[in-house]
């Protein structure tokens, strides 16, 4: 069997293809032959060495609560212990503040106050467990923390709220203990503004959400669908920028994850956990990032933009072409990504149904 990142047998001779992302209008090069270059793709890694359940030197472990700033949110565990804690980041990207953001113009240069919020979601008391090692209830609780903090930050700070997770040193993580982060920024970055404007223009032209129409088209074609449930769909995006990129989208339109229903929240967490377990089973303990992208608090985006969760494995490094053009080169077609993950996604009995009502897309046209 070939290395998983080198695609199906024979794809190394497939001609490169340019694909345009319908959500960003960015172009991506799908180039299966690039994976055959010597040393271009790292070998799958093995699990990290066994870690202690509690590390006395870790600021996120039980017993060291005084080594973090005062907590903002807590989910209680058994015997007055905690299951999840949310605390301010001791080394924040932005200074904590919810007042007006002042901007200053000096000729061609513009600056603004670096105010916002940067929080840490400590996902479990256990130092030795990663998110895919937790059970469904524990992962659901992590997503409840995302929703709760997104609501709280949105209510006091205009702009963008972004829950995200870094796994592995190449992804930007600096502490081993399982954690994710929530950041509120007072501005909407240009790349997000363009995405929201594209969705708004599509809605004005078609009277429907771009996310809803793209998801319907993906379900109809089927080749990039990984799994689905009553409320969410997991797929490999048409113009994936990275090998084994995955996306979880709601089947019903919802602009912000802060407003997600309990049912959709639960299924999102369960779906993500299975995707991460499948990814680890296929490629080893690789670095990745995931982000939850929602519409900003502005009402004008409520009907046109829908939240989604993106998982981006960190398997290739941007070289001169990618840096110079801003165009990603992906050596693994998303159709291959979906096919590989469908084969290894956990919890699939012979019936084709995943435990908890999730269905793996076995065929090119999945049954809903």
CA distances from 200 to 18, 159, 164, 210, 303 (A): 25, 17, 25, 9, 8
**Residues 116 and 184: beta-carbon distance below 8 Å:** yes
Note the pTM of the prediction, 2 decimals.
Answer: 0.89
- For residue range 276-305, list pLDDT tens digits in order: 999 999 999 999 999 999 998 777 788 999
Question: Which entry of 118, 167, 179, 231 is annotated as an active-site residue?
Answer: 179
Confidence bin at 36 (pLDDT 50/70/90): low
Domain range 65-96+109-185, CATH architecture: 2-Layer Sandwich (3.30)
Domain range 190-360, CATH architecture: 2-Layer Sandwich (3.30)
pLDDT value of position 1: 40
pLDDT at 13 over 50: yes
Mean pLDDT of the chain: 87
- For residue range 148-202, list pLDDT tens digits in order: 999 999 998 878 999 999 998 878 777 899 999 999 999 899 999 999 999 999 9
- Of 200, 308, 293, nearest in space to 253 by CA: 308
Average pLDDT over residues 260-285: 96
Strands (E), the chain: 17-20, 27-30, 73-76, 82-88, 95-96, 103-106, 109-112, 115-122, 160-167, 179-185, 225-228, 232-235, 246-250, 288-293, 308-313, 328-330, 353-354, 358-360
Indicate if 167 belongs to the active site.
no
Where, residue-wise, is CATH 3.30.428.10 in the chain? 65-96+109-185, 190-360
Helix (H) or strand (E) holding 212, with range, is helix 210-221
pLDDT value of position 354: 46
């Amino acid at each position: 069997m070939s290395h998983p990142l080198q695609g199906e047998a024979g794809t190394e001779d497939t001609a490169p293809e340019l694909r345009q992302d319908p959500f960003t209008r960015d172009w991506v090069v799908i180039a299966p032959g690039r994976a055959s270059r010597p040393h271009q793709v790292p070998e799958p890694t093995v699990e990290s060495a066994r870690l202690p359940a509690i590390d006395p030197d870790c600021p996120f472990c039980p017993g060291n609560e005084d080594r973090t700033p005062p907590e903002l949110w807590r989910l209680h565990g058994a015997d007055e212990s905690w299951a999840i804690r949310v605390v301010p980041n001791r080394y924040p990207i932005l200074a904590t503040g919810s007042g007006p953001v002042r901007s200053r113009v000096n000729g061609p240069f513009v600056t603004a106050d670096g105010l916002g919020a940067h929080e840490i979601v400590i996902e479990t008391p256990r130092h030795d467990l990663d998110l895919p090692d937790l059970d469904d209830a524990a992962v659901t609780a992590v997503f409840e923390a995302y929703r709760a903090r997104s609501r709280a930050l949105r209510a006091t700070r205009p702009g963008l709220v972004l829950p995200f997770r870094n796994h592995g040193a190449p992804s930007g993580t600096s502490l081993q203990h399982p954690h994710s982060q929530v950041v509120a920024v007072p501005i909407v970055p240009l790349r997000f503004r363009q995405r929201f404007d594209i969705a708004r223009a599509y809605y004005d032209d078609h009277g429907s959400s771009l996310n809803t129409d793209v998801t319907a088209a993906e379900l109809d074609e089927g080749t990039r669908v990984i799994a689905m449930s009553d409320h969410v769909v997991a797929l490999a995006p048409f113009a994936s920028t990275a090998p084994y990129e995955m996306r979880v989208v709601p089947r019903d339109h919802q602009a912000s994850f802060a407003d997600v229903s309990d049912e959709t929240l639960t299924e999102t967490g369960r779906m993500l956990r299975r995707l991460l377990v499948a990814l680890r089973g296929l490629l080893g303990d690789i670095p990745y990032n995931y982000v939850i992208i929602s519409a900003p608090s502005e009402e004008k985006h409520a009907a046109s933009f829908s939240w989604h969760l993106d998982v981006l494995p960190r398997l290739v490094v941007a070289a001169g072409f990618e840096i110079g053009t801003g165009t990603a080169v992906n050596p693994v077609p998303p159709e291959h990504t979906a096919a590989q993950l469908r084969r290894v996604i956990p919890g699939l009995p012979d019936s084709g149904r995943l435990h908890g009502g999730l269905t793996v897309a076995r065929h090119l046209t999945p049954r809903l």
